[in-house]
Structure formats: structure tokens, C-alpha cells
Structure 1
């Protein structure tokens, strides 16, 4: 069995010699007085599963429409495989797009839906047949080939749309909220199918989504967007664990934000930690950071609820321990989230796995508890 450390990691964005397949260069897109994309520069590499994540109106769909050829940049350049795609009409680009509605032809069979684009290309009958059969095997729909779209499930229609989009072997496949029409359980199952198909074909996928969990699951990298700008681009684990701003920390998953003033005057020679004075009468919090912070700098400590431990007694092995009272409890089946009110009124959330039956759990409403976390649990951020 190969040593895990020796396994090759897919990270072309870290390779100096890697050439991106998509390059946005100082791209701006305006609609009248409204700026949808604001001086955006971004590289996406071959075989990436790249997610554009953000709230409605942040510009992610506009980026996708420019790649597809439905919009043109007001300023700047978009390169696909080194070629400026501005003069290339949508039907001549090595790009295909899969819409949220799937846009299948209801009067055509699954087989004919997949073959449609190949017939428009004028390919001979044998090549079309071979390619359609290959796509049916890829999405595991061979036995449904002669059914109409209304005769198959939502998840199967999604796979037909995917097969049709991949049939012409595009260099780039754009997916606009592709799983939005599916229920949660099916959406989660289909995410892994999408990943397997993308890895099998080697096609570069760019997906637009507002579903954070979806972006975290499928992506090689995630670009978090806000008001036409990319706020942070990184791998899902780094986006989650090392956000570069309060906006990113707050947008991705659940988070506690504790605001205070940074101080190192009592830290001695320790330059890897900082004290955060966050409330009158409370001991300062310890946080690991290599940021160069001036004395008294306003900072925010972002801590995920699963990194906060809740106990009846004060822990003796941690610098960070805060007393509070259980204000509310959210029972989610596999986990419970405790909303704990601190003396100053701030609510801090702590999550625990429900390994015990309900009747045997330790805490309930109004209980006095201690919240604690390690020095490295949170990210020190400056707005």
C-alpha cells in the first residue's frame, strides 16, 4: 500500500510551470451604472472542479455567462487555453453549459437528448452512436435510453443533462446551480457522482452555487465572491479553517465572532500568540497568530462551534475558558448546538456530537456551563 504522504496531490495552482486553462485579466462588466464584475483577475487550471460561491447578486452568474459567451466584458480579457474568447461566438467555443432546469427536450428520448448536439455537429451515425453509448455508460443510464424525460426521476434527468453537456467533449463545462432542483438527500448523493464523472472525464468543471456545503464537497478550489469581487480563493479546507476576513468566515458555515483588542505586552518573547481583551471583567483570550498587530488593534476571533467544548466544570488544561448559561439548544439529530449567553450578553455557540440518548445528556436550558477552546482553535482577523 502506497504511503499516503507519497501520493500525488492535485494542486496545479501551486506549480510555477502550470498554465491555466481559464484566465480572467482585469475583467469588469457593467450593466448601465451597475458594476457586476469589478476588475477581476483569476486563474482556473485544467481538470479543476472550481466553485464560484456567493450570495445572490455577487457576480458569479455574470462570470459564467461571460465564459459561455452570453455576455461580453466591458473591460479586460478572458482567455481560454491562451485564446481571447471575446470574438468567438458561443456555439464555436470549446465550452458547454448545464442549466439548473436541465433544459431537456421533453419529446425526445434520453438517447436522442444526448445525441442532439452531436447531430448538430454533423457527425456520422456510427460516431454518434458510439459516443452516446459511452455517455450512457458514464452516467449509468443505459437501461433508460429509450425513456422520455418525464418517465425518469429528477436525479436521472440531471445525469442526462450532464451526459448531453459532456457528449461533445468540451474543454470546459459550466454548471449553473446544477443540483438546485433536487431534494437534500439526492443532492448529497449526486455531488459524489458529479465528482466521479469529472475525475473520469478530466473535463474542467466550473460550478456556480450559493450552497456552501455543495461547494465544500465537490471543489478542488472555491472562490468566495462579494459585490463583483473575489474575496478569497483557496481549497475548501483552507477557506473554512483559515478565512482571510470576517465576511468569508461568516459566509462559510457557522461561526462565533468575538471582537476585542489585541495585546502582546504581557506575552514576553512569545510572538506566535496574542491576547484579545474582549469584555470587561473577563480574562483575555489567547490566540495563535503570526500577524503583525499593533498594540490595541481591533480584531475579530472567528471560532467554529465544533471547536468549542462545553463542560460542567472549568477545564484546567486550557488558557481559554469562559463561564456562561445555556440560553438555547438546537437539536439536529447527529449533533446539538448549545447557545450559551456570556455575562455581557453575547451568545457563543458550542457543538457536541450526540453519542448518548437524549435522556442521558449533560446539559439543558439555564444550566451554568464553561466554554473552552485551544489557542489555535480560532482565526485572528482584522476587518
Structure 2
């Protein structure tokens, strides 16, 4: 039996849990959020991704109730939440610092919000035990925060945030304080917990890899605007602009002018005295239009000898090599001065490189490997 694909955003009848409608947020003369419209659906793990100062944390603070929109409307479950104070919203926020109470045990930290709500002792105990089990912290229940590791503290903060069963959990750079290996492990724990609880998670991050790993959808932001909202695979494979292509992962961008050479087929003239590159696109382009070809390094093959029967073949010289353990990236300078990166998986142990610095090489890619962009 096939499991149905989770994609409420593709269902025209699905009602969003969160709706930003033409939201603007200004601080004096500075516009942090600029006429932004966005829907986020129940059970999504949604990532707000962008560089520092792009407005992603401001969006989260408006959802939490710490900021109010200057213009526009924010709805949660169909209700305008502008007049609802932070402590009355079905929303919880987990901060980067975790903000645990140092004098309280792990158990008491998780119980804190439930006690504030006046729940009875048996209900609190049962809920805390559920949260300890969910986050695998039963053994550490009586310890204080300083007696456990950074990753465990992160799980305590998560358990405390989920204890009150919020409709929505906001995570502000939640893994920023962890080292790389622990961050990677914790990403998968977060995904597992989100799936088990069914809570809608909205995460703010500037880490592209983190967003690509955990999110059902990603909103790539810049200067208070959303540049693209889509699933991680489409953001990576079908970016809608040079900004998005360049922000997510590694990419080669070749600029030039286009001429049509068949149905949905174009020639990109990228350098004088060089044969044009051919590329396919369903987007409409006109002859003579400026365009950019975005192509990922892993889609570029590198050859010592000139191959036959390839769609796009360019000659060049190896300028640099980056050895990354599992991958090697070759920086190849073309006759026009452009540098194109070709990435090869190191499937065998390297005893001697076939291709090295200053070698004359050929690079190639298929007709459909690149994405033509007009902005």
C-alpha cells in the first residue's frame, strides 16, 4: 500500500493553519517585512531561511505575539491573532539559548508551564512522563541543566515547549549552539518528534543544509520579502531566481543572451568566439533576452580526453581542486575567463589523481541539467 504524499499546499480545498496576508512590519524608517503573503499548513515542518537581517525572526516574533504587524493580518486556525496576547495563543516558542531554569531539575523545567496553568498533579506527572519518554530523557529527570550535555538541554527545551500541546511550535535557530555532528543527529530527532506529535513546527535558520534536511517546505527570504516557497527538492532543482539558486547549495551561473533553437530549446551565447550552450526551458524567453544558466557542480562531468556525443562540451584548464573526502570539486577556467565547478564523488580511494592542477580538460553536461533564469 502506498502512503499518501503529505502535500496540503497542493490541495486547493486545504485550509492553512497560519496565514500571513499582506503583512508589513516597520521599525521607524526600516521595513523588516514588506507586504508578505504566506500560508503554512497543519503538521508542516516549515523553514524560514535567509541571511541575517532578512526578516525571518521578525515573522516568528509576530506569530509569537512579541511584535504586531504595522499593516496586514495574521491568522491562526482562521482567527485574526492581532489582539491575542502571547500567553493566550496556542503557540510556543523555543529559543536558541533554551532559557532553562538552572535551579530546577529537568522534570521541573518540563512541568513549569503546566503548573502555571493550574493543572492537577496527576495530569502534570502523566504529561511530563510522556514528554520525557518522547525526548528520551527519563534517565535525566532529576538532574539540573548544568549536569547534562548541550544536546540533552536542547531536548529538555523541546519537551517543555511541547508539554502544553501547542498547535504551533516556533524554533528560533534551535540547533545553533550544538557542534556539527550533534546538530546532524538532532535534526533527525526533531523530525521524528514532529512526526510523532503532529505539531506544526516553524523553524528559523540561516543554515541551508538544516532547512533542506528537516523541512517539508522552505521559504527563502531576502530583505523582508519571500523569494520562493517550495519543497526542498524543488528549491534546489528548480530555483526561480539567481538569488535562490546561489543561496541554496553550490551552483555555477553563466550569463549571456538567448536565441531560440527549437521548441522549449535555447542557445545561450555566454562568451565571444565560443560556441553557445544549449538548454531546455518551459519558461518563455525571447530572442536577444539576457538570461542566466544555473547548473549544479554535481551535474557537470569532467574528462581528460574529449568525449563524443555530449550535449554541451567546453574546454578549459584546472585552476583549483577542493578535496572534501566524499567529493572532489574541480574549478575549471574556460577560455573566456569564466570558472565552472565540476564535482565528482570519490567512490574509490585516491592513490593518484587522473586530473590535477593546470591540466587541460573537457567539461560537459546534458541539455536538461541546467535551469535558465531571467532574474
TM-score when normalising by structure 1:
0.97
Displacement of 1:361 after TM fit? Answer: 2.6
2:85 equivalent to 1:89? yes
Q: Which residue of 2 aligns with 1:259?
A: 255
Displacement of 1:358 after TM fit? Answer: 2.5
Distance in 1 between residues matched to 2:120 and 2:213, nearest whole Å: 39
Distance in 1 between residues matched to 2:267 and 2:18, nearest whole Å: 43
Counterpart selection for 2:5 from 1, 4, 9: 9
Counterpart selection for 1:80 from 76, 82, 86: 76
Displacement of 1:41 after TM fit? Answer: 0.6
Q: Which residue of 2 aligns with 1:361?
A: 353
Deviation by residue 1:214-251 (Cα, 9 ceiling, x = unmatched): 00000000000011000100000000000000000001
Displacement of 1:291 after TM fit? Answer: 1.7
Displacement of 1:281 after TM fit? Answer: 1.8
Q: How does 1:1-383 map to 2 (within 5 A)?
A: 2=1, 6-264=2-260, 267=261, 270-383=262-375
Distance in 2 between residues matched to 1:139 and 1:215, nearest whole Å: 21
Deviation by residue 1:308-356 (Cα, 9 ceiling, x = unmatched): 0001112212120100000001111110111111111111101001122
Displacement of 1:11 after TM fit? Answer: 0.2
Greater alpha carbon shift after TM alignment, 354-363 vs 193-202: 354-363
Q: CA RMSD in A?
A: 0.7
Secondary structure (helix, strand or coil) at the match of 2:220 reads: strand
Secondary structure (helix, strand or coil) at the match of 1:174 reads: strand
Displacement of 1:14 after TM fit? Answer: 0.6
Displacement of 1:357 after TM fit? Answer: 2.4
Displacement of 1:379 after TM fit? Answer: 0.5
Displacement of 1:280 after TM fit? Answer: 1.4
Distance in 1 between residues matched to 2:362 and 2:154, nearest whole Å: 48
Secondary structure (helix, strand or coil) at the match of 1:37 reads: strand
Greater alpha carbon shift after TM alignment, 354-363 vs 248-257: 354-363
Deviation by residue 1:56-113 (Cα, 9 ceiling, x = unmatched): 0000000000000000000000000011101000000000000000000111100000
Displacement of 1:359 after TM fit? Answer: 2.1
Structure 2: unaligned runs, 5 residues or longer: none
Displacement of 1:282 after TM fit? Answer: 1.4
Secondary structure (helix, strand or coil) at the match of 1:358 reads: coil
Distance in 1 between residues matched to 2:54 and 2:38, nearest whole Å: 16
Distance in 1 between residues matched to 2:24 and 2:210, nearest whole Å: 27
Deviation by residue 1:261-283 (Cα, 9 ceiling, x = unmatched): 1101xx2xx31211111111211
